[in-house]
């Protein structure tokens, strides 16, 4: 960006973590409270990600949660970040999101991914074709676009949904998804919160391959990153231990609920596990407002990203709200 300042939008990715000693209902209420707060702070959108067979994540019925949050808010965009399209029939997704758009016009986003959002056994239970070709995902996107368009020549129609033109976003963590988003002329969101390796290369490939479309005339990039902000650096570092313990579960293949913060992580992991977790969480911004402003500002300048989508695995709901308040202030400074 050559030092040039730009206005950057800020949004939320909520994985609806289930907290230790609480149930999914508690997480849903926490999500609504957070959405209502970030709406007042000027956040652009609030997204949920589809996951299955994990007792630590309660966002499996993604479209239902989108409706729940949209009903409890007024103007913030609410959507999927994303729907794992190979798990579904495109017509059904068009009908679901067409219905959401009819209920909450102009506020519904539909982000699309191609990963299963689960393990291979659960993918089979979802009737997913694990042998699908690389062309299957692009074809499904084009089919979905047709259902959501005016579609005058179609023999099959999405009612409601047809003519809604619900905006689509391509999600990913690879160069394949970046190139596909560019070729289709759709906004691109990179999953830097857990798969940081190709973030910069993916944004470059996306911009280089971008072709203007009916939905989008110029490239638009979203970086999903972890943000743990607090009033002091010490408080933020301790709060972040819940995030590290959560990803330690991922490394070990367990699915324990989100744990409260701890004073010392060294007794919880081996050095090799620590290195794996830290590598996965490379794009994690932790600290007070000054630290967030400095480090996130450098990231925005370095990547030229148009939007920051913050994911925050924070055990205490009030601390999570405070983190997003600090992030909003930091973005204004940036």
pLDDT for position 127: 58
The two tokens of residue 197 are 């390796």
Residue 3's pLDDT band, with cuts at 50, 70 and 90, is very low
Spatial neighbors of 28 by CB under 8 A, at least 6 apart, are: 16, 58, 65, 68
Q: For residue 123, is pLDDT > 70?
A: no
The string of pLDDT tens digits covering residues 165-205 is 999 999 999 999 999 999 999 999 999 999 999 999 999 99
Residue whose tokens read 């149930």: 23
In the beta sheet, which residues pair with residue 78? Answer: 46, 108
DSSP state of 118: S
What pTM does this model have? 0.94
Q: For residue 2, is pLDDT > 50?
A: no
Q: For residue 1, is pLDDT > 60?
A: no
pLDDT for position 151: 85
Tell me what the pLDDT averaged over the chain comes to.
93
pLDDT for position 129: 63
In whole angstroms, what is the distance from residue 96 CA to residue 158 CA?
A: 9
Q: Of 15, 34, 42, nearest to 72 (Cα)?
A: 34
Q: For residue 128, is pLDDT > 70?
A: no
Q: Of 99, 89, 86, nearest to 166 (Cα)?
A: 99
Domain ranges of the chain: 11-333
Residue whose tokens read 């689509």: 168
Residue 288's pLDDT band, with cuts at 50, 70 and 90, is very high
- H helix intervals, the chain: 24-40, 62-71, 90-103, 120-125, 136-148, 175-184, 199-209, 233-239, 241-252, 271-280, 289-303, 317-333
CATH 3.20.20.30 describes domain 11-333: yes
Q: Are 213 and 185 in contact (CB under 8 A)?
A: yes
Q: For residue 31, is pLDDT > 70?
A: yes
pLDDT for position 248: 96
Q: For residue 227, is pLDDT > 80?
A: yes
Q: For residue 73, is pLDDT > 60?
A: yes
- H helix intervals, 217-316: 233-239, 241-252, 271-280, 289-303
């Amino acid at each position: 960006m050559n030092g040039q300042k730009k206005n950057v939008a800020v949004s939320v990715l909520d994985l609806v973590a289930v907290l230790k000693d609480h149930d999914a209902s508690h997480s849903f209420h926490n999500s609504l409270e957070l959405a209502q707060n970030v709406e007042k702070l000027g956040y652009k959108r609030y997204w949920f990600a589809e996951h299955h067979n994990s007792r630590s994540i309660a966002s499996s019925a993604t479209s239902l949660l989108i409706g729940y949050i949209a009903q409890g808010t007024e103007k913030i965009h609410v959507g999927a970040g994303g729907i794992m399209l190979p798990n579904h029939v495109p017509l059904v997704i068009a009908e679901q999101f067409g219905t959401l758009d009819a209920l909450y016009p102009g506020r519904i986003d539909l982000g699309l991914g191609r990963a299963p959002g689960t393990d291979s056994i659960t993918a089979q239970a979802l009737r997913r074709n694990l042998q699908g070709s690389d062309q299957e995902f692009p074809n499904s996107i084009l089919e979905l676009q047709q259902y959501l368009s005016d579609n005058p020549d179609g023999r099959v129609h999405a009612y409601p949904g047809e003519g809604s033109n619900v905006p689509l976003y391509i999600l990913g963590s690879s160069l394949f998804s970046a190139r596909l988003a560019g070729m289709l002329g759709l906004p691109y969101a990179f999953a830097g919160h857990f798969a940081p390796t190709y973030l910069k290369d993916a944004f470059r490939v996306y911009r280089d391959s971008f072709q203007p479309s009916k939905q989008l005339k110029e490239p638009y990039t979203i970086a999903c990153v972890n943000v743990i902000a607090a009033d002091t650096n010490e408080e933020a570092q301790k709060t972040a231990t819940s995030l590290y313990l959560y990803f330690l579960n991922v490394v070990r293949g367990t699915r324990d609920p989100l744990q409260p913060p701890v004073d010392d992580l060294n007794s919880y992991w081996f050095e090799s596990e620590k290195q794996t977790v830290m590598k996965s969480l490379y794009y994690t911004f932790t600290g007070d407002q000054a630290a967030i402003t400095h480090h996130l500002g450098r990231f925005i300048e370095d990547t030229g990203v148009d939007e920051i989508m913050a994911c925050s695995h924070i055990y205490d709901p009030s601390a999570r709200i405070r983190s997003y308040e600090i992030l909003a202030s930091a973005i204004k400074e940036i």
